[in-house]
Amino acid sequence: MPVTRRQGEDRVLTVPNGLTALRLACLPVFLVLLAQPHRRDLVAAACMLGALGVTDGLDGYVARHFHQVSSLGKLADPFVDRALVLSAVIGALAIGAVPAWLVAIVLLREVLVLAGAVVLALAGARHLEVSLAGKVGAFAMMLALPLFLLGDAPFRWHEVAHAAAWVAVACGQVFAWYAAVQYIPTGRAFLADARKGPGRAQDEHLVAHSGDGHA
């Protein structure tokens, strides 16, 4: 029996997709605030980045609990999240709020995951969905980056914010790299299925399930 798309997944106008579009639209505003001289709008930039991170968790909650999961959302949400994190990391590096070696670690992981996604796409394989560990890592980074900005701003509690930022970024990178390692066997399986072709892969899947319980 052919696999059909779950009902409603072809929708575009959903609340989660609207929140994703809002995050993308706010990205230039965040960069403008970050670029203001003398760090005068750094606190505002940090607050905006934190609010955008909250919307990232909110759109996932709405999609799951109100049955608004869509194919567009599965593709657009990780892309916008990655664009926001990379823009924030590079912007924070440009103003000296984060060290270069930390940026190198974050960028290396993102480049590797992106390269894997490109390989799967070129092979015609299924795309990898973000794992729970990946979501936790992204959330921790979205928490750490505003804290790094607050730690570099003329802000009363900047030292506390800076310390909290290091705790969050350490946890975030542990989960992010763990997720990247988890993607390897799944990606290899998707590539193998793509090389076999959809018909053959489905036949083997049916044969495997028909033999369950007869070993």
CATH number at residue 61: 1.20.120
Mean local confidence (pLDDT), 18-39:
89
Residue at 54 is within a domain: yes
Classify residue 125: in a domain, yes or no.
yes
What is the per-residue DSSP string for 66-121?
Answer: TT---HHHHHHHHHHHHHHHHHHHHHHHHTTSS-HHHHHHHHHHHHHHHHHHHHHH
Using a 10 angstrom Cβ sphere, with 0-12 exposed, 13-18 middle and 19 or more buried, the burial of residue 164 is middle
Render pLDDT for 53-109 as a digit per residue (tens, 0 to 9): 888 778 777 877 878 777 777 777 878 887 888 888 888 999 899 999 999 998 899
Q: pTM for this structure?
A: 0.75
pLDDT digits (tens, 9 = 90+) for 151-203: 988 878 889 999 999 999 999 999 999 999 999 999 899 888 888 865 554 44
Examine residue 202 and state whether it is found in any structural domain, yes or no.
yes
For the chain, how many structural domains are there in total? 1
pLDDT in tens, 100-150: 999 999 889 988 988 988 888 888 888 788 788 988 888 888 889 999 999
Whether residue 114 lies inside any domain: the answer is yes
Residue 143 lies in a domain: yes
Structural domain that includes position 47: 15-208
Is 214 domain-assigned? no
d(CA 50, CA 106): 18
Task: Tell me if 25 is assigned to some domain.
Answer: yes
Does residue 66 form part of some domain? Answer: yes
Mean of the per-residue pLDDT values for the chain? 82
Give the C-alpha separation, 212 to 62, whole Å. Answer: 36
210 pLDDT band, cuts 50/70/90, is very low
Predicted pLDDT at 81:
80
Sequence-separated (6 or more) residues with CB below 8 Å from residue 188: none
